[in-house]
Amino acid sequence: MTSSLTVKNVTLKFGGLTAVNDLSFDISPGSISSIIGPNGAGKTSVFNMITGFYRPTAGQIILAGNQLVGKKPSQITRLGMARTFQNLRLFPNLTVLDNVKSGMHSRTSQTVWGALWQTRAQRREETFIEDSARDCLRFVGIEDSCDRIAKNLPYGAQRYLEIARALATKPRVLLLDEPAAGLNYEEKEDLIALIKRIRTHYELTVLIIEHDMGLIKKISEKVIVLDYGQKIAEGTPEDVLSNPRVVEAYLGKEEEAI
């Protein structure tokens, strides 16, 4: 089910540091949008506020009419938000299938007692969880690896596993934090195709943080650019990437790095 996401006048301070400054944007239902910006611009902080890991110092975040500020991450997951992380956060010693199932308990009534004392209804629920997890793994193309230990998968497959785990929570909005990091050209092309298929098949809204400009151009309908926690541009990839302020934000950082 697609859903809109609104970030309104959001500020995030860490002591004297303003990581995000009066940020507003709208993401329309069913769209694929990207947040870009130099290192430290505040991109991951935005994801952390949307998912309830950080509480904004000020502002509102609204998902399909629901105010997210003040809610716990688990409540926000139940409202339909799912994410992947910049640095993979899998359970490395669990199987691929168990990694996906672990993401699903937020939407089932399964408890520890239930798992031990299985009634027929609970067994039905367990079958449902397993079937849904396999569906997500099949969709991203790694169902054959179901029984492998997660840490033994090639890096690209581990990234797909994270996406499958996010999909298993049946989100309305999927947040992908640098999904192409560490992938080669062909793997990036496959990832672009997969994200497009996910949007259509699961009827999702997708928001991506990415540094790879090639991927951003190929996939985003809208790009939001942050620099020092502020939005400095918003628009189509072509408009934004030719915007002198955006070019300066990136080149300025490169000069600093030199």
Q: Where do contacts with ligand ATP occur on this chain (CB under 6 A)?
A: 14, 17, 19, 37, 39-45
d(CA 179, CA 192): 10
Residues 6+ apart with CB under 8 A from 72: 52
- Of 55 and 138, the one with the shorter C-beta distance to ligand ATP is 55
Query: 175 — phi, psi (to 5°)?
Result: -105, 125
Task: Please report how close the Cβ of residue 49 comes to ligand ATP at its closest, in angstroms.
Answer: 10
Task: Please report how close the Cβ of residue 241 comes to ligand ATP at its closest, in angstroms.
Answer: 17
Task: Please report how close the Cβ of residue 175 comes to ligand ATP at its closest, in angstroms.
Answer: 12
CB 61 within 8 A of CB 48: no
Pairing label, strands 173-177, 222-227: unpaired
d(CA 206, CA 10): 20
CB 7 within 8 A of CB 61: yes
Task: Please report how close the Cβ of residue 136 comes to ligand ATP at its closest, in angstroms.
Answer: 26
